[in-house]
Structure 1
Amino acid sequence: MWHFHPLELHGAYVIDMPAFGDDRGTFIKTFHKSALLHKGLEFKLRESYFSLSKKDVIRGMHFQLPPHHHSKIVFCPQGAILDVIVDLRKGSPTYGRYHAEELSAANNKAYYIPEGFAHGFKALTDDAITYYLVSSEYSQEHDTGIRHDSIGFDWGVANPVISRRDQSFVTLQEFQTPFNI
């Protein structure tokens, strides 16, 4: 049974995914359409992918612009990450606010991230896998982000490994959001 924990950021949830273990290992259900619908979340899976990151890598803060914006379900089946989301929706009472949550293979937690949020993470372990279920397909011309260091969050690492692309993003303050609530 999936358990949804609403966050202070309207429409976002932390999900406890059901995990079943025995002497062979663990079985975890990572997607359950009926559970999402029961919560009022219409999620149409269009794409799935994962990243493998070394410790202290920061990826983000990413999103896609309309009309290719998307919601995501994100979890970490190997290692651990500190996952961060930011509300970018104009008119939202939580616009510009972030939430951080540790997602790991040990805690079986996932994020449900609505449309209009930026997403990023810091790898807490070597070989951390971040897995994404996404409601739209990738569109290079709509794929963008904001700088990870512009959201007021302390990432807790002095020398993170960050791509040139992620460093080139505008700040949250410079970003002109097309998202509405």
Structure 2
Amino acid sequence: MIFKETKIDGAFVIEIEKLTDKRGFFARGYCEKEFKEQGILFEAVQANIGYNKFKHTIRGLHYQVKPHAEAKLVRCVKGEVWDVIVDVRPESPTYKQWLGVELTENNHTMLFIPEGCAHGYQTLVDNTEIYYMVSAFYAPEAEQGIRWDDQAFNIEWRETEQIFISDKDQKWENYNSSPQKV
């Protein structure tokens, strides 16, 4: 795997190293040893699948607070997404910065999201599916979120006029107007 540091402290874009032959390719999608060599302590306890029927669906921005904070390793297995993270760790040197990465079924790129970062994505085509591993079990009482269009971050989504978004995600408060936890 090829780990590329991003502008968000502790977040990495990860490219696979393909062993190719006439049948196709084989690649490692996760290796605890290689992650540790990069200084990433990540132990997956749960894996989630998100399927989205329509192009321009936005899910997020979500995160869980301590002691249930979670790191994520995200990959798009069908279609294309604009995957976005926002650093909401007040002690972080990249606090309130955001990062967007295009993850597709063809580029096989993954995004490692450290604890304390909100996560969301927008589908770029119909019938898109993501697969991601998390380091903590889902705990509803620890769930937090911020609005996808919060002016505190000015995230550059790919489409903002004709989107599909859940009522729950539409109702998250703006980050600066609500007491946030990390």
TM value normalised by structure 2: 0.92
Residue aligning to 2:158: 156
Q: CA deviation at 1:144?
A: 2.4
User: For 1:148, what is the secondary structure of its paired residue?
Assistant: coil
Q: Distance in 2 between matches of 1:94 and 1:174?
A: 20
Is residue 32 of structure 1 aligned with residue 41 of structure 2?
no
2:125 counterpart letter in structure 1? T
| Aligned ranges 1:136-175 → 2 under 5 Å | 136-150=136-150, 151-157=153-159, 158-175=161-178
Report the Cα distance in structure 2 between the residues aligned to 1:113 and 1:175, rounded to whole angstroms. Answer: 23
Partner of 1:41: 40
What residue is the counterpart of 1:73 in the other structure? 73
Q: Contact (CA 8 Å) 2:47, 2:133: kept in 1 or not?
A: yes
1:1-181, aligned counterparts within 5 Å? 2-53=1-52, 54-150=54-150, 151-157=153-159, 158-179=161-182
Identical residues among aligned pairs (%): 34
Separation (CA, whole Å) in 1 of partners of 2:173 and 2:7: 25
Coordinate RMSD, CA, aligned: 1.4
Distance 2:40 2:179 in 1: 27
* CA shift digits 1:103-125 (9 cap, x unpaired): 01111111110000000000011
Q: Gaps spanning 5+ residues in structure 1: where?
A: none
Are the equivalent residues in 1 in contact too, given 2:72–2:113 (CA < 8 A)? Answer: yes
Pair 174,27 (structure 1): closer, same or farther in 2 beyond 3 Å: farther
Q: Distance in 2 between matches of 1:36 and 1:115?
A: 15
Q: CA shift at 1:171, angstroms? A: 1.1
Structure 1 residue 176, shift from structure 2 partner: 3.1
Q: In the alignment, is the contact (CA less than 8 A) between 1:18 and 1:108 conserved in 2?
A: no
Shift of 1:94: 1.4
SS of alignment partner, residue 89 of structure 2: coil
TM-score, normalized by length of structure 1? 0.92
